[in-house]
Every structure is written in C-alpha cells, then in structure tokens.
Amino acid sequence: MSIVSLRTKLIAIITVILIAGFAATNILNYQVSKGALRTTILENELPLSSNNVYSAIQADLLRPIFISSLMANDTFVHEWVHDGELKPERMVRYLDKIRSRYDAFTSFFISSKTLRYYHYEDSSRILSETNLEDRWFFEARDMKDPYVVNVDFNHQQERNITIFINYRVIDNDGEFLGVTGVGLGLGSVSKLVKTYQEEFRRNVYFVDQAGLIQVHADPEIAGKTTLYDVLGMRDIADKVLANGRGSYAYDGVDGKVLLTTRYIPELKWHLFIELPESQALADMKRGFIRNMLIGPAVIALTILLIIYTINIFQGRLEQMAITDKLTGLSNRQHFDLSLTQAIKRFRRDERPFSLLMMDIDNFKLINDQLGHLAGDKAIRHAAKVIRDQSRDSDLLCRWGGEEFVILATECNAPDAQRLGDSIREAFRDAKFFPDTPDKKITLSVGISQVRKNDDEESVVARADRALYAAKDNGRDCTKTA
C-alpha cells in the first residue's frame, strides 16, 4: 500500500470516527436531556402549575362558602322565616346588602315552606319540583352535606367561571328552613388560565367526574367534549378520573403530551394542566439542530488541520528517509531511486548522465589521529565543498562512510571529468582543520557514463572500478571507466 493511499485511508477513518462520535454523542445527550426534561416537567413544573391554580381556586372558594355559611346561620333569616316570611321586601333588601357588601355576583334564599325564590332584585318566582331548572334545590334539600358547590359558565363575563354555594339553612331545632347562598365569579382562575396558556404555554382546563370537559379555552370544547373523545386521552381517561392526582404522558394528534391532574373536591372537578412535549423541547431541539449543523463545520476544520499536520510530518519523514543525517545530503536510498528514474529517462530519450563516485583518501588516519568527532566534521565539510562545486541539477549523495556519489544529469564523461577535477582542487584548497592548517585532505574520483543496455548495477560497478583505479594510481586523481 502506497503512502498516499495509506494517508487517505487514515484520514477517512478519522473522519468517520469524528462524525460518528459527534453524532452519537449529540443524539445520546439529546435523548438523555429529553428524558430528564420530561421527568422535570411531569414531576415539578406541571404539578407546581397545578398547585398555583388550585391555590387560586381555594382562595376564591373560601370566601363564598364563608358568606353562604354566614347567611345560613343569620338569626334574621331564621326569625324572618319563623315569623311567616312577612314583608318579602325585607329579605330582598337583606340579600342585596349581602351582594353589595361582599361583591357577590348574586345572592338568594329559597324557602322550604313556600318554595319562593328570594333574589336580591325580587321575590316573585316560585320553585316547582316538576321544573328541571329547579331540581338543584330539591337535591340540596335532601343532601347530608351542609352545602354544595354548583359551577356555571358565565357567557356574559368573558367566559369567566361562576360558582354558586347552596347552603342548607337549619334552625336550632334541626328544622330545614331552606337554602341560601351566593354566586361569585372566579375571575382570578380565568386570568390564571389565560396567563398559563399565553405566557407559559400550558393548557389548563377542568373535567367533571364523568369525563366531560367543563371549562376550556376553546368554546367548541367546553361542555361538549369528553376525555373519551380526545385521541390518546381516551386510553388513560379511566385511570386519570380514578386517581386524585397524578402525572401522565399520552400520544396526542400532534405528538406526545405531558399531563398532570388533581381532584378539586370543592368543585368535584379534576384540574388538568398539560403541555405538548414538542413545545417543551422546542429550545432543546433548536440547540440540537444547531449543534448538528455546527458540528460538521468543526469536523471539517479539524480534518483540514489533521491533513495539514499529516502533510507536514509526512514531508519531514520523507525528507528524513532520503536525507543523510550527518551531512544533510541525499542518502543511499534516495540515490537508488533517482538512479532508477535516470536510467528510465535515458532509455526513453537517450539523454546522457554520469556518475561520479568519490572517496576521501586515507580517512581512517583522520579518525585514528584526530578522533571520530574530527572525522565527522571533516565529512560535513567535505559535503559542503562537493555541494559548492556541483551544479544545481546534480544529485549529490553520501554513499556511505567517507564515500560520496554525484548523479550528474545531462552530463557526458568529459564534462564529468572536469567536474571531478574541480572538486578535487577545491578539496586541496579547503581548510578542514583550522587548528592544523597544514593538514590537507585529498579526494579520489571514479566516473562512469551511462551506456545502452546499462542497468543500475552495471553503471555503479564501472564507477566503482574507476574509483579503485584512482586509488591504485596514487589517489587524488580522477579516472573514468
């Protein structure tokens, strides 16, 4: 496998790992956060909203119950009934004062003896057991509880809830005298419902024991729709109505809906507060999408940095692989590759090239007399001298030890001879050892020009033979084979 394909495969693997890791992490975090948020909403936020609404209802209910109780135990009412209900206008004035003093929506008293309905405005109406609208009075007459709460939906007052407290009037002897009570608008509850639905995106509504939705922001639903008509809700309706309070999740028309409920005994209704999960997760989902869009850009930038870094280190490694550490020249490996390419070019276009194989004369004596550190300095200096005398197009390599080789392109044997002689002369003039300027270094050079049918071994072998001929000829000379 080539270095390029290996690098491409490595970058591809890193890219897949980064993308898969990023996507998996974000999706996992989203799912975990989604579950945690759902739990928080069901266990904390919605129950807290339920408590706030219930507190408002409780505050509004205590007042009318107190007023109705006050009226039912008022001695004026008891004495007026026992006196034969003389002067009905007195009861009307009494009811009007009660209504005005406590800012009630209405105030009333029904006598059990005469079945007359006394209202704060008049007393002309008589109740009948055959009239369905009057049934509530006869039910109140027979009930065991001291009072009952009736709730109505007032269409004339911005659809506010109105509660009627029907309180049984019992004298000291336990005789049932009638029913008295007031009606008050639950304006604060309506306002709270509107606030939650508009500002906090909560759906607030009330359901009776039979599952009928009594109060809802949508007039097409209030009093007309039951829980069993709502998709998803019908599956949990019986469970919800059977429990005093609880938290649930059901699949609605537009997705999952989170719900908390509690029973309000004073109204005999269930308070429902729900939140579409899509709304609750909207901000989180936007963050998730934003991360998924930003992530690829970050990954792309990271990959570019990785590619840039790999290219830098690859270039350095490649340079190290073909460079001699001591001299900075090309090494034997680089020379072998270059020679192969040069022979291929020669076979293609027959442009000549020559090899100059060089060896420092008597280099062992330098190491023995001056030490290996001095020998290394001499080799580095020799490389500089050879480089300075060579052409830019020539490839200069350290062959090994104190041997060097030049692959001289576009160069025949005579030109190579002149190049070798100039290098030898530069050696004789160079000062390799500043502390011992009289100590000189000489160089032997062997040359071979490429021939037809040559291969790497043959052209190198001729240069090597020429180098040995130069050594045998007394050194410090140039020979061509």
Give the Cβ contact number of residue 396 at 10 Å. Answer: 23
Match 């491409």 to its residue by tokens.
Answer: 8
C-alpha pair distances (Å), 260 with each of 221, 247, 372: 19, 4, 89
Q: Where are the beta strands (DSSP E) in 335-453?
A: 353-360, 395-400, 403-409, 443-449
Question: Cα–Cα distance between 447 and 422 in angstroms, integer?
Answer: 14
Question: Cα–Cα distance between 346 and 410 in angstroms, integer?
Answer: 10
DSSP output for 271-292: EEEEEEHHHHTHHHHHHHHHHH
Give the Cβ contact number of residue 278 at 10 Å. Answer: 13
Pairing of strands 203-208, 213-215: antiparallel
- H-helix segments, 41-146: 46-72, 75-82, 88-101, 135-142
CB neighbours of 311 closer than 8 A, spacing ≥ 6? none
Q: Of the listed 89, 402, 410, 425, which one is catalytic? A: 402
Catalytic-residue membership of 402: yes
- From the list 421, 422, 402, the residue with the least C-alpha distance to 360 is 402
CA angle 204, 55, 242 (to 5 degrees): 60
CB neighbours of 37 closer than 8 A, spacing ≥ 6? 280, 281, 284
The percent helix, strand, coil of the chain (3-state, each to 5) is 50, 25, 25
Q: Where are the beta strands (DSSP E) in 171-218?
A: 176-185, 203-208, 213-215
Question: Cα–Cα distance between 143 and 133 in angstroms, integer?
Answer: 17
> Coil, strand or helix: which one is 326?
coil
Consecutive H or E run containing 264: strand 255-264
- From the list 194, 227, 264, the residue with the least C-alpha distance to 51 is 264
Residues marked as catalytic = 402
